[in-house]
């Protein structure tokens, strides 16, 4: 841990417990996510990694029976304080979901929606500019620049997911959460998204939940291993994959369970 202190912690989770009704889904999660890095969360299905991810932008708030205790600090500010404006929070913490979910609108409108509700663009030119840069950052511009006004749902799965990434970065967040962004995609589209994630980390802090250990190894700098609602081990990706401290991590990584 001393080694890592040189890097700046963007998100600090302190003793996060999550309950769905009577069932406890997360047990005292403490972890740090560093700025401008890709942090991967791995673990078997149902281990709570997605639940934790959704705590970072308070997406769990929409689930009535979900109760969360503990603190998550973003830039040393606890987002679970009672007076926090979740709209402001989500402006800062974008999210990309497992299944591509573009709005059933044109490609242009998909990107322009976020900036327009936050009043980011002053006029049409500025909006065009935001749409273009967002799509460029998401490596989709060249493929769609001639059909910006066609429906976003008409794109291929991989393109749709990149459209969702472009949508997330259009409002210029600081953190992007990705919930198994490639699980619905073919290997070629996956490779493209992974490449994209790598290039995005210079401007954003990225947290990615993934089922694929090879993906975690390829894209992330740090990895956290979840099992049954607990964070078993967290550290440098290289260390986690080559020489984990915990035997359970070792077993999972070598494919003995999960």
Give whichever of 35 and 118 is closer to other proteins, judged by the CB atom. 118
Report d(CA 175, CA 219) in Å as an integer: 16
The alpha carbon dihedral of 148, 154, 160, 162 has a sign of negative
Q: Of 31-39, 43-51, 165-173, 216-224, which segment contacts other proteins by CB under 8 A?
A: 165-173
Q: Of 18-26, 109-117, 212-220, 222-230, which segment contacts other proteins by CB under 8 A?
A: 109-117
**Rule CB under 8 A: is residue 229 a binding residue for other proteins?**
no
Report d(CA 179, CA 91) in Å as an integer: 17
Give the residues across from 68 on adjacent strands: 18
**Rule CB under 8 A: is residue 94 a binding residue for other proteins?**
yes
Tokens of 88: 């402001």
**Rule CB under 8 A: is residue 180 a binding residue for other proteins?**
no
Give whichever of 117 and 247 is closer to other proteins, judged by the CB atom. 117
Binders in 115-144 for other proteins, by CB under 8 A: 117-118
What are the two backbone dihedrals, phi and then psi, of residue 61, each rounded to the nearest 5 degrees? -60, -30
Angle CA 23–24–29, to nearest 5: 170
Q: Of 29-37, 133-141, 159-167, 222-230, which segment contacts other proteins by CB under 8 A?
A: 159-167
Tokens of 206: 């990225």
How distant is the alpha carbon of residue 185 from its chain centre?
A: 16
Transcribe 46-64 into DSSP letters: TSSHHHHHHHHTTGGGGST
**Rule CB under 8 A: is residue 171 a binding residue for other proteins?**
yes
What are the two backbone dihedrals, phi and then psi, of residue 170, each rounded to the nearest 5 degrees? -65, -25
Size of interface with other proteins, in residues (CB under 8 A): 30
Give whichever of 112 and 232 is closer to other proteins, judged by the CB atom. 112
Binders in 53-72 for other proteins, by CB under 8 A: 57, 59, 62, 64
Q: Note the residues at the interface with other proteins (CB under 8 A).
A: 57, 59, 62, 64, 87-88, 90-91, 94-97, 99-104, 113-114, 117-118, 151, 153, 160, 164, 167-168, 170-171
């Amino acid at each position: 841990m001393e080694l890592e202190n040189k890097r700046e912690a963007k998100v600090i989770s302190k003793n996060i417990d999550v309950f769905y009704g009577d069932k406890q889904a997360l047990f005292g999660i403490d972890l740090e996510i560093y700025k401008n890095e890709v942090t991967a969360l791995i673990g078997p299905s149902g281990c709570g990694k997605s639940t934790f991810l959704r705590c970072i932008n308070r997406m769990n708030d929409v689930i009535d029976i979900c109760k969360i205790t503990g603190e998550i600090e973003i830039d040393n500010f606890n987002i679970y304080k009672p007076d926090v404006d979740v709209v402001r929070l989500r402006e800062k913490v974008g999210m990309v979901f497992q299944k591509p979910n573009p709005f059933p609108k044109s490609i242009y409108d998909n990107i322009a929606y976020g900036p327009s509700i936050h009043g980011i663009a002053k006029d049409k030119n500025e909006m065009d500019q935001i749409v273009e840069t967002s799509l460029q950052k998401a490596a989709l511009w060249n493929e769609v620049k001639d059909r910006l006004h066609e429906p976003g749902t008409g794109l291929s799965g991989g393109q749709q997911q990149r459209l969702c990434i472009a949508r997330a970065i259009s409002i210029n967040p600081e953190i992007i959460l990705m919930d198994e962004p490639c699980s619905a995609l073919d290997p070629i589209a996956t490779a493209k998204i992974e490449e994209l994630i790598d290039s995005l980390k210079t401007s954003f802090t990225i947290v990615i939940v993934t089922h694929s250990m090879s993906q975690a190894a390829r894209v992330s700098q740090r990895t956290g291993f979840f099992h049954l609602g607990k964070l078993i081990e967290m550290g440098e990706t290289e260390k986690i994959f080559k020489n984990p401290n915990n035997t359970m991590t070792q077993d999972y990584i070598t494919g003995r369970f999960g």
